[in-house]
Structure 1
Amino acid sequence: MRLFIAEKPSLARAIASAFPGPQKKGDGFIQLPGGDCITWCIGHLLEQAEPEDYSPSYKRWSFDTLPIVPDIWQLKPKANTKKQLAVVKKLIKQADQIIHAGDPDREGQLLVDEVLHYCQTAKTKLSQCQRLLVSDLNTNAIKKALGKLQSNGNFAPLSRSALARSRADWLFGMNLTRAYTLKGKQVGYQGVLSIGRVQTPILGMVVKREQEINAFIPHDFYQVEALIRTPDTQTFTAKWVPSEACQGHMDEEGRIINPKLAEHVANRITDKPAAVSKAERQQKKQPPPLPYSLSSLQIDAAKAFGLSAQQVLDICQSLYETHKMISYPRSDCRYLPTEQHQEAGAILSAINRTTSAYQPHVIACDPKRKSRAWNDKQVGAHHGIIPTQSLAAYSKLNANEQRVFDLICRQYLVQFLEDYEYRASRIELIIEGGVFVAQGNVPTKLGWKALFKQDKKTSDELPNVTEQDQLWCEQGVLLTKQTTPPEYFTDASLLAAMTGIAKFVVDKELKKVLRDTDGLGTEATRAGIIELLFKRQFLYRQGKQIRPTPAGMRFIESLPASLATPDMTARWEMILNRISHNEADYQSFLNELVANLRQQIDTCQQQRLTALADLPASPKTNPKRRYRKANTASSGKGRRSTKRQPNSHTNH
């Protein structure tokens, strides 16, 4: 008997649809013709054991027992899924061959792997276990995936990475939460002070932004523009580019802060000749944006419709699982496998039949066009989010579901439209020894940009001049401007910060090695982490702005910078990613983490958290559930499978 173990019931039913009948539905499984069987998990069937499961002495919170570091890690069945675990365990023993059908990401890999090891699956069965990768729940897509089974052993690094993340979250969150809660009690604070390796730096970023805005003092700065006339009476404006000699009159951003200097330049260039030192006119092309990853979709949906990250994730899960209208949504990839291109014609036809909004543009699409999105080297376990061929349920979608789906459609359609083309002009002038520059772009072919709203601003067409042409500066214009404070975070900008964390890392050496795409958390967890901070009453919303509460402010101000900044966890995320590619060692990562954890606890013991003395208590937490779901919360699997909000304060 071949046994398929799906991540959740909906995936099991989708796999079953790819097999002929008759099929028999059992209690926790589906029997296929010929004796094969499909069973399922319900998200994580197992969870990390709690400290008191390792030793009764850990039930009492005390610095004497910290840090708690298990010698042998334990998992235990989740109370509400014990029955299904028993079904899976029984079927594993009966199976001749096992096919792992977890979701195509690192947590999906771990979710089934941990069940196989917990059930003490025979080594022979484990070595022969195969992997089914399903990123599209439509029957035809699943049939294709069934024809491409791989050895499950190929995905061991992915599983180790998820395991490292799960155990790191447990160690970091549980130990430091206990430590800081104990210190809080010493000054009279009675609530739980929750620490997480991702949630705390994210809160720290929001608090730091609030502090920067509160401390911001505006100052004036000055720009000089030259109004230029050509011999044939065409006019344009060029901006002054201050030289190095002006450094002493600039702020940190390179803006002139000396009004007398700027006024002198404006007066000096008025009614003076302007010599063209450089004149460039180039025809340029811009390829279409890549298909969406989850985070890039969440960012665009937040900007366009004001949807939160969690709302977009929930909508995507519905579009994927319930309506089967999009591919696997929890993807961090924006590329597509080359093989997928052969489905382009069918998907374009489905879009054309489904939504009138894009029908004129679908006609212009060339299904043979292959944009840079199709790149096998950039595709890992899953690919970018795209529409499927089964779009009949579109009319049943609510307004927000249609909005998000339309974004996904647009991002797919542009792959089959021509590049955006424009003429880029740049003129550099010398006026009284100073350098002035004018730049302009003129669209020559909209191409894929026809699907996007165009700026009302007219194009910046510059005159066609050549080097050594003699123009005339009719007037120098002094512009007085004022600096503005940083903007408060919104859902879009906070997600962007989490996905491109290098910009917010303090350590200059770490900045150098982090890629633009290195981020905090994963596609599956970011929305939950943000929502968790609201639930803990550390953040609140003011319109679109995300602001820290007084409790959030005071808490972060009481923590050492190593916990409140993203440097440490950004480095960990980078290593976890390397583990998933078999480029770093799991045990070395955990050893370094434990060493760092001991230092953090020592630092905590030496502090006196006086700022927390009158801090309002955090929301009450059931102590029996306080450390549960460390695996589930960190992966985001529990929420999407059981529709519960994550409630473990060790969640990142």
Structure 2
Amino acid sequence: MTAASSHQSTLYIAEKPSLAKAIAEGLGVVKRGNGFIECRGGATVTWCFGHLLEQAEPDAYLPDDIPKTKKGSKIWRLQDLPIFPKAWLSIVKKEKGIKTQLATIGKLIRASDVVVNAGDPDREGQLLVDEVLEHFKCRKPVKRFWVSAIDPVSIKKGLAHLKENVNYAGMRDAARGRSRADWLLGMNLSRAYTLTSKSEDGKSRLIAVGRVQTPTLAMVARRDYAVRNFVPKSYLAISALLEKAGVPFRARWKPKPGQSGMDEEGKLLLDLKLGHELVERLAKEKTALVLSAETKRRKAFQPKVYSLADIQVEANRLYGMTADDTLKVCQSLYETHKITSYPRTDCAYLPESQHAEAPAVLAAIAKTFPATAKAVERADTSIKSPTFNDKKVTAHHGIVPVANVVDWSKLSDREQKLYRLIARRYIAQFFPVHEFDETTVELQIGDEKFVAKGKVVVRKGWKVLFDKKEDAAEKKGEDDSSSQTLPSLTKGETVEVKAVEGKEDKTKPPAYFTEGTLIAAMENIWRSFEDPQLQAKLKEAGGIGTPATRAAIIQELKRKTYLASEGRKLHCTELGRSVLLKASPKVRSAAMTAFFETKMQLVEKGEYGLDAFVSEYERFIQGELDALKI
């Protein structure tokens, strides 16, 4: 179906005004009204302001004879738990202008033949418009407008290829399931924990828990504990300075299998006395025998484009931006300036069909950001990096520039910084693969083995775009000796030993979380578990939270003063620790959240019913309440 038929009036309901404006411009604006835009071909475009409806509070489901507080809400009582709604109620949000806009949408629905859901391309975007249609009991044909960028080209494509809205019912149900489960856990367990806990002064205090918030808080608390209780251990790093034909190079000591005095992982020599004796003995050796020398040609493919989590981590590391700030700036680049694609994505790959758009996108980058002109000129659009991979693309592809141009001076400093990062990753897709020769040499000094590694760049490729000081942090932790240039070495020859050295150092504690590293930890929570099955489930679930919600979760924990910032570092507060002490292990556990997300994926695919999911979740909540002897 095309955008609109001449004999039918079509109503587009966009998630927000900026998207409505882009759709209207794509259709052709005829006249602007109060809360809507009339367009060519009998089409009308209207908009929401995000969710116009919200879930009713527990008071709506509780008996009217419950005593009320001075503010007029019903008091919390243990005997009223659990609160399990039989029929879920939605109410109009109280924010200014929402009631009026909702009434406008209702009139337009009644006057239209066909309605188009133009929510954002995700679960929440689907539910956001669908719940408005349900609110007005809409029985008219409903189509779905689905784009992941709002530049003119993407808008026109979306208008020309409307889908059937019913095909997205699973996404709507998944969003609704998430919303209902969050309500059930938050409303029931926060009340139960609060009513059954007392502070030292005997007063009740609010113990608010959430499906994702609490496991996130627990991660920060565990990291704080690990850092504050860390006991450093001394170790000895042994290396040899060698030389052949006037070319010096360094080799590291390789412990024997079962070497005594090592740490649990067999990597660090903790027995300093043994180490110093070893260095003293080896220092007498004058030559080293080459046991093996192997050179392999290695390739480093172009970096993938950004997912939201990736750019949140990067912006925090480079510029100290919070996760929420980064999301807002990415949203502004997408929504206000229309120069990047949809940002709330967990994917770092691109559809193969987008490869053909590269010349237009690169030209737009060079016009928007003139400093990239030379790099764009060198880009080769015949190169197709592994980032273009249909099999790896999820609901939304990675964040990239689009073929739209703005005046660079119109962007804020933060918008310029993030556009630069996004543009650089995209341009890199059209530069050659980075190639280098990696040499590994094993040597024998006395009766001990040493290993020397070297690297020679054969082709700089895409890395010419990344030789900046700001990227030096990415190289932290790399073995410095691995980038050395080795002389030509062959098995059986000997080289001169200039020195054998032992350098004492201490083990380092893990780093405190920053907003960037916490976002990454939420996405990669599977690394915290050893059970392979649980790891697989957590990976499949994409971690805890979603790209769209992680920044908001951190903000909410800070707002409740469960988390506090100290510079870029995040810490769990005393109040946050009291919440974790009260919450059950299941509520604190990221594993429970991962299973939840797995269920949501099944609901989205239509393989598990919404009602069945909610019933299962109610049983879980009842079990938690029973454990508190309520």
Query: What CA distance in whole angstroms lies between the structure 2 residues aligned with 1:254 and 1:286?
Result: 27
Counterpart in the other structure of 1:534: 558
- Structure 2 residue 123 is the aligned partner of structure 1 residue 106: yes
Cα distance, 1:179 vs structure 2: 0.9
Counterpart in the other structure of 1:519: 543
Counterpart in the other structure of 1:48: 55
- Structure 2 residue 248 is the aligned partner of structure 1 residue 235: yes
- Assess if the C-alpha contact under 8 Å between 1:265 and 1:476 holds in 2: no
- Assess if the C-alpha contact under 8 Å between 2:541 and 2:594 holds in 1: no
Cα distance, 1:78 vs structure 2: 1.9
Counterpart in the other structure of 1:477: 501
1:4-403 matches, within 5 Å, as 4-21=12-29, 23-56=30-63, 59-80=74-95, 81-122=98-139, 125=140, 128-185=141-198, 188-230=202-244, 232-246=245-259, 249-252=262-265, 254-270=267-283, 271=285, 273-403=287-417
Deviations 1:372-403 (A, max 9, x none): 22222222332211112222232111211111
Cα 1:437–1:590 change in 2 (3 A) is farther
SS at match of 2:188: helix
Cα distance, 1:92 vs structure 2: 2.4
- Assess if the C-alpha contact under 8 Å between 1:48 and 1:76 holds in 2: yes
Deviations 1:279-300 (A, max 9, x none): 2111211111111111111111
Query: What CA distance in whole angstroms lies between the structure 1 residues aligned with 2:584 and 2:61?
Result: 30
Query: What CA distance in whole angstroms lies between the structure 1 residues aligned with 2:417 and 2:88?
Result: 45
- Assess if the C-alpha contact under 8 Å between 2:193 and 2:583 holds in 1: no
Cα 1:82–1:604 change in 2 (3 A) is same
Counterpart in the other structure of 2:69: none
Query: What CA distance in whole angstroms lies between the structure 2 residues aligned with 1:331 and 1:249?
Result: 44
Cα 1:556–1:507 change in 2 (3 A) is farther
Cα distance, 1:369 vs structure 2: 2.1
Could you tell me which amino acid in structure 2 is paired with residue 16 of structure 1? A
Q: Which moved more, 1:591-600 or 1:37-46?
A: 591-600
Could you tell me which amino acid in structure 2 is paired with residue 70 of structure 1? P
- Assess if the C-alpha contact under 8 Å between 1:500 and 1:517 holds in 2: no
Aligned residues with identical type, % of pairs: 40
Unaligned runs of 5+ in 2: 1-8, 67-73
Cα distance, 1:530 vs structure 2: 0.7
Deviations 1:22-66 (A, max 9, x none): x22233222223322222222112111211212336733122222
- Assess if the C-alpha contact under 8 Å between 1:177 and 1:192 holds in 2: yes
Cα 1:238–1:214 change in 2 (3 A) is same
Cα distance, 1:317 vs structure 2: 1.9
Could you tell me which amino acid in structure 2 is paired with residue 299 of structure 1? V
Cα distance, 1:253 vs structure 2: 6.4
Query: What CA distance in whole angstroms lies between the structure 2 residues aligned with 1:354 and 1:363?
Result: 14
1:592-631 matches, within 5 Å, as 592-605=616-629
Counterpart in the other structure of 2:10: 2
1:503-514 matches, within 5 Å, as 503-505=527-529, 509-514=533-538
- Assess if the C-alpha contact under 8 Å between 1:293 and 1:331 holds in 2: yes
Deviations 1:526-575 (A, max 9, x none): 11111111111122221111122222233323433333332211222233
Cα 1:536–1:383 change in 2 (3 A) is same
- Assess if the C-alpha contact under 8 Å between 1:222 and 1:481 holds in 2: yes
Query: What CA distance in whole angstroms lies between the structure 1 residues aligned with 2:539 and 2:388?
Result: 22
Query: What CA distance in whole angstroms lies between the structure 2 residues aligned with 1:172 and 1:463?
Result: 64
Could you tell me which amino acid in structure 2 is paired with residue 92 of structure 1? I
Cα 1:513–1:427 change in 2 (3 A) is farther
Query: What CA distance in whole angstroms lies between the structure 1 residues aligned with 2:559 and 2:530?
Result: 28
Cα 1:419–1:157 change in 2 (3 A) is same
Counterpart in the other structure of 1:648: none
Query: What CA distance in whole angstroms lies between the structure 2 residues aligned with 1:26 and 1:566?
Result: 48
Cα distance, 1:304 vs structure 2: 0.9
Query: What CA distance in whole angstroms lies between the structure 2 residues aligned with 1:10 and 1:185?
Result: 48
Cα distance, 1:318 vs structure 2: 1.7
Cα 1:46–1:281 change in 2 (3 A) is same
Cα distance, 1:133 vs structure 2: 0.9
Cα 1:508–1:560 change in 2 (3 A) is farther
Cα 1:554–1:54 change in 2 (3 A) is closer
Query: What CA distance in whole angstroms lies between the structure 1 residues aligned with 2:608 and 2:275?
Result: 55
- Assess if the C-alpha contact under 8 Å between 1:172 and 1:196 holds in 2: yes
Cα 1:540–1:3 change in 2 (3 A) is same
- Structure 2 residue 443 is the aligned partner of structure 1 residue 439: no
Query: What CA distance in whole angstroms lies between the structure 1 residues aligned with 2:111 and 2:614?
Result: 36
Cα 1:275–1:517 change in 2 (3 A) is farther
Query: What CA distance in whole angstroms lies between the structure 1 residues aligned with 2:606 and 2:241?
Result: 59
Query: What CA distance in whole angstroms lies between the structure 2 residues aligned with 1:73 and 1:582?
Result: 21
TM-score by length of 2: 0.89
TM-score by length of 1: 0.87
Cα 1:249–1:33 change in 2 (3 A) is closer
Cα distance, 1:497 vs structure 2: 0.6
Could you tell me which amino acid in structure 1 is paired with residue 56 of structure 2? A
Could you tell me which amino acid in structure 1 is paired with residue 82 of structure 2? P
Query: What CA distance in whole angstroms lies between the structure 2 residues aligned with 1:311 and 1:98?
Result: 34
RMSD between superposed Cα atoms in Å: 2.4
SS at match of 1:392: coil
Cα 1:571–1:428 change in 2 (3 A) is farther
Q: Which moved more, 1:358-367 or 1:430-439?
A: 430-439
- Structure 2 residue 444 is the aligned partner of structure 1 residue 430: yes
Residues matched between the structures, number? 600
Cα distance, 1:506 vs structure 2: 6.8
Unaligned runs of 5+ in 1: 607-652
Cα distance, 1:204 vs structure 2: 1.1
Q: Which moved more, 1:282-291 or 1:238-247?
A: 238-247
Cα distance, 1:13 vs structure 2: 1.2
Could you tell me which amino acid in structure 1 is paired with residue 594 of structure 2? A
Cα 1:191–1:41 change in 2 (3 A) is same
Could you tell me which amino acid in structure 1 is paired with residue 12 of structure 2? F
- Assess if the C-alpha contact under 8 Å between 1:205 and 1:565 holds in 2: no
Query: What CA distance in whole angstroms lies between the structure 1 residues aligned with 2:393 and 2:144?
Result: 17
Deviations 1:332-361 (A, max 9, x none): 221222222222112211222232332221
Deviations 1:232-253 (A, max 9, x none): 3433222122233225642456
Query: What CA distance in whole angstroms lies between the structure 2 residues aligned with 1:508 and 1:212?
Result: 24
Query: What CA distance in whole angstroms lies between the structure 2 residues aligned with 1:442 and 1:357?
Result: 30
Query: What CA distance in whole angstroms lies between the structure 1 residues aligned with 2:241 and 2:103?
Result: 80
